[in-house]
Chain A
Amino acid sequence: GESVGLHLPTLSVQEGDNSIINCAYSNSASDYFIWYKQESGKGPQFIIDIRSNMDKRQGQRVTVLLNKTVKHLSLQIAATQPGDSAVYFCAENMAWQNTDKLIFGTGTRLQVFP
């Protein structure tokens, strides 16, 4: 029979537009969050992180927003480029528990078309 895989939400954007990828994290006790990018055939790669004492952090072309009230994390990519096409994962951590174990979300596929 046909296997059923994870249904990854897909975001399709036009090159040059801004992208917003959302993530609902699971644990209100999490205090450290990371966004990873995974290109086809490669391992996940760190993009940006944020601590729970912040609600916004900016990097180069990327911004992460954290809303602890509703346990929501978003990644904004400015002027999306074809090279941004990948699967994006959010991950959460409870650093206050002295653990570096990460809990990963299921991921969102970003497709950039010309």
Chain B
Amino acid sequence: EPEVTQTPSHQVTQMGQEVILRCVPISNHLYFYWYRQILGQKVEFLVSFYNNEISEKSEIFDDQFSVERPDGSNFTLKIRSTKLEDSAMYFCASTGLARGETQYFGPGTRLLVL
């Protein structure tokens, strides 16, 4: 069964450093999402992406964040200058041909900013 994959599974970085989280969505999916979950808190929407542009973003998704689909398979989330409060699980999700289809989530990347 096709699935969303994410790398790395864990990342430790120093405050102020740039990190890139990678996702490989399900192969025929066209809509992509990033969510995050701070330890013990709710899953929060960050951004949605379609046709090489951002469809919607939350207040969390400020200028320090960016997303890109650099090739036909990867979808990346970049945090330019990490802060302590960026420590969280980051989940990628993808949806098929229609926007109304079910989102399938990856296993997540645990980011720890020291």
Asked whether A and B interact, the reply is no
